[in-house]
Structure 1
Amino acid sequence: MGYAMVQRFSLRSCNDPLLFHEFFCVAAQNDGSSQISILYLGFMIGYLGYCKRVEAKSECERPAGTESLEVEGTEPSETEEYFPEAPSHLFWSDLKTMLSEKLSNTEFTSTIRQLNENSYFPREAGSQKDESLAFYIENRFRELQLSKAWHDEHFVKVQVKGSASNSVTIVGTNSGMVYLVESPEGYVAYSKAATVTGRLVHANFGTKKDFENLNSPVNGSLVIVRAGKITFAEKVANAESFNAIGVLIYMDQAKFPITNAEIPFFGHAHLGTGDPYTPGFPSFNHTQFPPSQSSGLPNIPVQTISRATAEKLFGNMEGDCPSAWETDSSCRLETSQNWNVKLTVNNVLKEIRIFNVFGVIKGFEEPDHYVVVGAQRDAWGPGAAKSSVGTALLLELARILSDMVLKGGFKPSRSIVFASWSAGDFGAVGATEWLEGYLSSLHLKAFTYINLDKAVLGTSNFKVSASPLLYSLIEKMMKDVKHPVTGQSLYRDSNWINKVEKFSLDNAAFPFLAYSGIPAVSFCFCEDTDYPYLGTTMDVYEKLIQKVPQLNKMARAAAEVAGQLIMKLTYDLELNLNYEMYNDKILSFVRDVSRFRADIKEMGLNLQWLYSARGDFFRATSRLTTDYRNAERTNRFIMRDINDRIMRVEYHFLSPYVSPRESPFRHIFWGTGSHTLSALLEHLKLRQENMSAFNETLFRNQLALTTWTIQGAANALSGDIWDIDNEF
């Protein structure tokens, strides 16, 4: 009878008073046996202790939802392990329902419209209106009773138009006749300030392949390129590598169907992110560093021109553009022998003060680990689609999640940091300066960045750029969230991972991933074609609502996507970062390199060490998965150790063999530079295509350092040094 009673007790709730009464009655009736009574009593005390440990998951202990976060909290010290009292958890289905209900009552369009009122636009970085909006957001975070709201201040160098106008002029080679084509309102920041004259050659989008396919050499010539496909900075870098002396960028009507042919537009030419005059260093309050500048700054002038100006130039050019370009019929290939083009750029450097604004909801178990969700605040021009939508999403998510914590019973295990960045239009300057300021510690604390910039540009497609660590989580979210127009799940294609787009240099999530080694995700509801008004004076609310009539519904869907990612990353005991996804990436790279086995053998090398490193990484991920499955979930020290190993996977793919100052984007998968896997493969191809351009010494270094970076990631994932496979 005693064993049956123990079974009944084990299967019942921890807090059933009737069961306690029954338990004692049975104990008392057991023939007065003191031994059995003591046995029952000992079992009950032990079981109650167990119940106390798992009460967070007990169905009987559903929270009443009256708890609230303190407005000001005390953070644990850097060296102190901090474990607050374990919170009660709502079920995941409860959280999703609560989020959905709160979103259904949110009018995003009113916030977007407010951000585009005269009070806050134009808000170019460092302007009074940019600053006013920064302090509005900080005050709003305080009103929402976030755990803390604050801002940081940076002094950065940006390039603006000078007092003398920029100009594009046509010059007769024989007659000496000169006439001004345009004195543009738009400009390209970080262009070289100079005057150049030469013939003009059309290079399509200005990709490397476009330049390689040109019939006319561009040595000593200016080039004209279409906007789109790649960033302005990449177009200029490609032109410079082919010895062009200047670049003109225009928006053709085929790709950007804008009626107004005179519309000016803006961009930047820095092949990097952050303040290019303090590369690798934070621009805190006039901090003194040796004079330096980013290697990503161009050495040739570059200027945006209107479509009308481009058509005037085409009138003095000859040769039809290839039909494969699918561009305007007016397009021409190069100027005739009678005409040259003269470009003058008079941009000047200016130091400005910018503010990044932050708010935090502190986690209840691991407050020193946090997900960061951010949006660009500034804009050249109105910036409705470029920055107002993202800022509106940021503010409303802060309001909703704070309300869920204060009134709904949501107790995130980890912290949620909301960030409003300035100087995004100049190359994610605000975000990068913050990362540079905390380079040594952020990878130990921030485990994911969610970017809200340009999240709604259309309705037809849902596109994602993300670290592989987030693929599994994104897929779960896509299956949960329905498209607001079609009513169908966002998960439409089992092959969606192969369609994930690489982060562009202009994406604020890029430096988080490639510079700091923090997993990042950026997404958008958009069309197959580019949104035509980004970076122009026509990026206004009226054009946005015209292009996206269901703007409010699409913004709600974007907020639901971000909200689910935030909650899932802060809700579960285990971090939702699938480290095993990098096994496929490493295997794919090894297969690509293996195609060149014969070339590698001719150099007296082999790939055995690379194979071993790949195998060690696979075994390390398998071991970590086993450790997690065998872990005692209620032991927070063990779970924290496992989570620490998971959250550093991305960081260990930053090459330790290159300088963050000289090669800031050190990630071997997603960075830029000779240390990347793509650079190694491109270099190896040269041995077959152009042997004279192949550098065997460089390749030997590339292969060795790549191998050891992968091996280092495997060792770090394995945990303690006595758990590492030392047979390598």
Structure 2
Amino acid sequence: MASQNMVATVVAAAVSLLVGGIIGHLGTGTDTISSSDKEKISIMEKLVADKWESEEHLNHKIIDMINTDNLRNNLMELAKLPHLAGTERDHQLAHMIRDRFLEAGFDTADLVPYDVLLSRPNRTNPNLVTLEDVEGQIIFSSTYQEKPLHEDDSDPEFIHAFNAFTPAGDVRTEAGRGVVYVNYARVEDFDKLEELNVNVSGCIVIARYGKIFRGNKVLQAQERGAQGIILFSDPRDVALEGVEAQNVYPNTWWLPGSGMQRGTTYMGTGDSLTPGWPSTAQAYRLKVEDVQLPKIPCQPIGYDDARVILKKIGGTPAPSDDWKGGLTGVAYNLGPELQDRYSNYTLRLKTHNVLQIHRSYNVIGTIKGEVEPDRYVLLGNHRDAWGYGASDPSSGTAQMLETARVFGQLISSTGWRPRRTLVFCSWGAEEYGLIGSTEWVEENVNKLQERAVMYLNTDNCASGPAILIPSSPLLWEPVTRIMKMVPGVRDGATLYDEWMANNVAQNRTSPKMDTLGTSSDHAPFAFYCGIPCLNLMFKSIRNKYDITGYPFYHTGYDTFYMMDKHVDPGFRIQQGCGRIASLMLKYFADSLIIPYSLQHLPEAMKDALDTFKESGKRDKLMKICKKYVLLEESLANLTDTITVFVRKVKEKKTQNLDPVSIRAINDQMMKLEQVFILPAGLPGRPTVRHAVFAQSQFDNYAPARFPGISDLLYRIEELDAAERLEKEDEIRKHISDLTIMMERAASFLQDFHLI
């Protein structure tokens, strides 16, 4: 009813305005036009004006206004102290960000609280990995905090190393055996161990960080029967120039031997006690024992400590160089036996993590749109960190505060106001599993699906100089256009030039635009709501350093000094991030016709189906479901429909469109991805509802296209006859769902009056 009333209001306004315009036109001179009619004409001009095109000078002004000194000062304040989710410092920063939004001239800025389940180590009883002899004497004990290497590295509130949501536990091996090195703890790594007859059941496994999400590592270890898992960052991934003092922090950006990556292991998103619903005072909460959390203890350690353990493992040799890391003097044997001279040693893993409900705040600020206040263009960044969080997330927060200042100054100095409402979001408790953003989306899902134009996420603006922009295909062309406007942060004339050069250096014949994984707060918007999203990051140059992430990720060395000295001296990277973010917001807030690139949607889908063909999955699917060809045909039909629609929109942009037609065209494009939202979610994954673009089931960080098909085909050959028949029926149903959604999407782009 609300949307019907809104459309009726717009239509009535348009008619009134047109009448007013005619009256003015029929007048014999400007003196005969009444002030009322002049006002109507002015309103009509606003309704059909393209502020992005007509106010190009403001776009260039924004580029000049993003100030590196402000960014540096912002980051210095944000990263001054540790700010774990739900702590006093986290709350202080939430209030500070709210106040900064209000100082910038925002129309609203509010703290939005949620009471959510978090996990913390015991401050007085730290988690430990120990080696003990047969008499129980401790031969070796791991450290649980980084060694301070710079004057600002130590703080009494800095959290001990732990992996959130893994349980408290005390497990140990037999004397002389029961330890298995499992490489990166991926599915293929455990499969290789089975092939080599290395059984991890009942063992404590030790794995390298990298390649996949740590929660997938814990889950794989648990499902293979391990009783505990130890994680460490190997020098091959985090110290490529050597582990000597002169080659690591504080002298370079590489990780020293005591650096430990903290992080969540929760495989879901949002508050685990209130799945699908916001964790407000009214919410029903599950019992903790009914929540699917890891069942085995887990602990991160530094590579100095990992060396002590790995050197003692004997048994099966590493199967290839791919299994060998960068620790000198370590063979990277698989175990499960220890070497003979350590046959009386026992490995013990003892953790004391505690689950408790804590309050966490989001900060939501708005700049009200002048013409379409009920259409939202959103920018988000999380605030909480595992420590000082200079790069993750504070480089993004520093940028967001500067972007807020710039828009506020535009309003006060030029009188500019966006066509559509801008929404700035500082999320709480992201590090624990995208909790703040997910709770807010669950609370506002109906509004967002009705009104959200685009969500831009800037979790980590600066962990390296290379721009990385996974996004909905609807945003591929717009962000490319913006990159061509923004000066480079290295030696390129523009960020687009640097992005292209990075692609060429990786031997790509065409620029690579990827879809989204679930690595940050865009996930609930994209995968639960079907809202076009972009995750803006600057990371290491892959052809220079072939590493996962960046060396000091989630460690005690993600400090202001690290950022100021090694990662972004001069703050040009964060300036580039702020320029991209600000211009993307203005582009989508001020363009008359929302500048989506619809044609890339079916292109990305076809690429996925082509990959199925190349990998042999299509042949498997055809044997199971002869109607698979209908999915391909429906995609071809959608491609043709979008081609025609895009051509018509380009033609109409040259005409004098009325406000109602403008609104209708924009709504068709804005809600197109929502057609691919499955209300019940993907098979086996109810909170992941996007049927075409989502995260991989086997790596929460990685993107997947048509993830339901890949999930259902996984190891189908290994099922018994009854289970396989059941799985094949699920596949037929899912292909039917996808085919119907393709046809719905094509129908959705028909002329307005057709149903």
TM range (shorter): 0.7 to 0.9
- 1:559 corresponds, among 578, 585, 588, to 578
Map 1:681-720 to 2 at 5 A: 681=710, 683-684=712-713, 686=715, 695-716=724-745, 718-719=747-748
Classify the secondary structure of the residue corresponding to 2:537: strand
Q: Which residue of 1 aligns with 2:464?
A: 458
Determine whether 1:97 maps to 2:46. no
- 1:518 corresponds, among 504, 509, 531, to 531
Q: Which residue of 2 aligns with 1:651?
A: 674
Q: Which residue of 2 aligns with 1:368?
A: 374
Does the 8 Å CA contact 2:67/2:402 hold for their aligned counterparts? no
Counterparts in 2 of 1:685 and 1:51: CA distance versus 1, 3 Å: farther
Map 1:461-610 to 2 at 5 A: 461-492=466-497, 493=500, 499-501=512-514, 503-527=516-540, 528=542, 529=547, 530-593=549-612, 595=616, 599-600=620-621, 602-603=623-624, 605-610=626-631
Does the 8 Å CA contact 1:203/1:211 hold for their aligned counterparts? yes
Query: C-alpha root-mean-square deviation of aligned residues, in Å?
Result: 3.5
Q: TM-score, normalised by structure 2?
A: 0.79
Q: Which residue of 1 aligns with 2:73?
A: 110
Q: Which residue of 2 aligns with 1:211?
A: 190
Classify the secondary structure of the residue corresponding to 2:571: helix
Q: Which residue of 1 aligns with 2:337?
A: 336
Counterparts in 2 of 1:630 and 1:281: CA distance versus 1, 3 Å: same
Determine whether 1:166 maps to 2:171. no
- Amino acid across the alignment from 1:167: L
Does the 8 Å CA contact 2:682/2:708 hold for their aligned counterparts? no
Structure 1 residue 363: Cα displacement: 1.3
- Amino acid across the alignment from 1:101: D
Structure 1 residue 248: Cα displacement: 0.6
Counterparts in 2 of 1:94 and 1:722: CA distance versus 1, 3 Å: closer
Q: TM-score, normalised by structure 1?
A: 0.82
Structure 1 residue 396: Cα displacement: 0.7
Q: Which residue of 2 aligns with 1:638?
A: 661
Counterparts in 2 of 1:165 and 1:681: CA distance versus 1, 3 Å: closer
Give the Cα–Cα distance (whole angstroms) in 2 for the partners of residues 456 and 597 of structure 1.
40
1:463-504 deviations in Å (ceiling 9; x for gaps): 221111111111112222221320332224386976345544
Determine whether 1:323 maps to 2:321. yes
Give the Cα–Cα distance (whole angstroms) in 1 for the partners of residues 577 and 751 of structure 2.
45
Classify the secondary structure of the residue corresponding to 1:426: coil
Give the Cα–Cα distance (whole angstroms) in 2 for the partners of residues 432 and 661 of structure 1.
19
Determine whether 1:312 maps to 2:308. yes
| Farther-moved stretch of structure 1 (318-327 vs 344-353) | 318-327
Classify the secondary structure of the residue corresponding to 1:424: coil
Give the Cα–Cα distance (whole angstroms) in 2 for the partners of residues 608 and 397 of structure 1.
48
- Amino acid across the alignment from 1:212: D
Give the Cα–Cα distance (whole angstroms) in 1 for the partners of residues 325 and 515 of structure 2.
24
- Amino acid across the alignment from 2:355: L
Structure 1 residue 183: Cα displacement: 5.7
Does the 8 Å CA contact 1:231/1:504 hold for their aligned counterparts? no
Give the Cα–Cα distance (whole angstroms) in 2 for the partners of residues 94 and 496 of structure 1.
35
Counterparts in 2 of 1:156 and 1:248: CA distance versus 1, 3 Å: same
Give the Cα–Cα distance (whole angstroms) in 2 for the partners of residues 601 and 137 of structure 1.
54
Q: Which residue of 1 aligns with 2:638?
A: 617
Classify the secondary structure of the residue corresponding to 1:254: helix
Map 1:68-217 to 2 at 5 A: 91=54, 93-104=56-67, 107-117=70-80, 121-162=81-122, 164-172=125-133, 179-182=139-142, 184=144, 185-198=160-173, 199-214=178-193, 215=196, 216-217=198-199
Does the 8 Å CA contact 2:468/2:536 hold for their aligned counterparts? yes
Structure 1 residue 696: Cα displacement: 3.4
Map 1:152-301 to 2 at 5 A: 152-162=112-122, 164-172=125-133, 179-182=139-142, 184=144, 185-198=160-173, 199-214=178-193, 215=196, 216-257=198-239, 258=248, 260-285=256-281, 287-291=283-287, 297-301=293-297
Counterparts in 2 of 1:56 and 1:599: CA distance versus 1, 3 Å: same
Q: What runs of 5+ residues in structure 1 fail to find an aligned partner? A: 1-39, 59-82
1:24-58 deviations in Å (ceiling 9; x for gaps): xxxxxxxxxxxxxxxx968999xx99999997999
Does the 8 Å CA contact 2:630/2:739 hold for their aligned counterparts? no
Does the 8 Å CA contact 1:277/1:292 hold for their aligned counterparts? yes
Counterparts in 2 of 1:155 and 1:549: CA distance versus 1, 3 Å: closer
Counterparts in 2 of 1:230 and 1:625: CA distance versus 1, 3 Å: same
Give the Cα–Cα distance (whole angstroms) in 1 for the partners of residues 729 and 54 of structure 2.
53
- Amino acid across the alignment from 2:190: F
Structure 1 residue 109: Cα displacement: 0.7
Give the Cα–Cα distance (whole angstroms) in 2 for the partners of residues 682 and 85 of structure 1.
46
The number of equivalent residue pairs is 658
Q: Which residue of 2 aligns with 1:13?
A: none
- Amino acid across the alignment from 2:300: T
- Amino acid across the alignment from 1:607: Y
| Farther-moved stretch of structure 1 (636-645 vs 235-244) | 235-244
Counterparts in 2 of 1:576 and 1:297: CA distance versus 1, 3 Å: farther
| Farther-moved stretch of structure 1 (703-712 vs 261-270) | 703-712
Structure 1 residue 656: Cα displacement: 2.9
Determine whether 1:416 maps to 2:422. yes
Does the 8 Å CA contact 1:614/1:711 hold for their aligned counterparts? no
Q: Tell which structure's C-alpha radius of gyration is larger.
A: 1
Give the Cα–Cα distance (whole angstroms) in 2 for the partners of residues 294 and 628 of structure 1.
51
1:146-165 deviations in Å (ceiling 9; x for gaps): 12111211000101113543
Does the 8 Å CA contact 2:378/2:456 hold for their aligned counterparts? yes
| Farther-moved stretch of structure 1 (438-447 vs 396-405) | 438-447
- Amino acid across the alignment from 1:328: L
- Amino acid across the alignment from 1:208: V
- Amino acid across the alignment from 1:193: A
| Farther-moved stretch of structure 1 (131-140 vs 676-685) | 676-685
Q: Which residue of 1 aligns with 2:694?
A: 671
- Amino acid across the alignment from 1:652: V
Structure 1 residue 717: Cα displacement: 5.2
Does the 8 Å CA contact 1:256/1:532 hold for their aligned counterparts? yes
Counterparts in 2 of 1:122 and 1:693: CA distance versus 1, 3 Å: farther
Counterparts in 2 of 1:556 and 1:90: CA distance versus 1, 3 Å: same
| Farther-moved stretch of structure 1 (658-667 vs 222-231) | 658-667
Structure 1 residue 89: Cα displacement: 6.5
Does the 8 Å CA contact 2:48/2:657 hold for their aligned counterparts? no
Structure 1 residue 430: Cα displacement: 0.9
- Amino acid across the alignment from 2:737: W
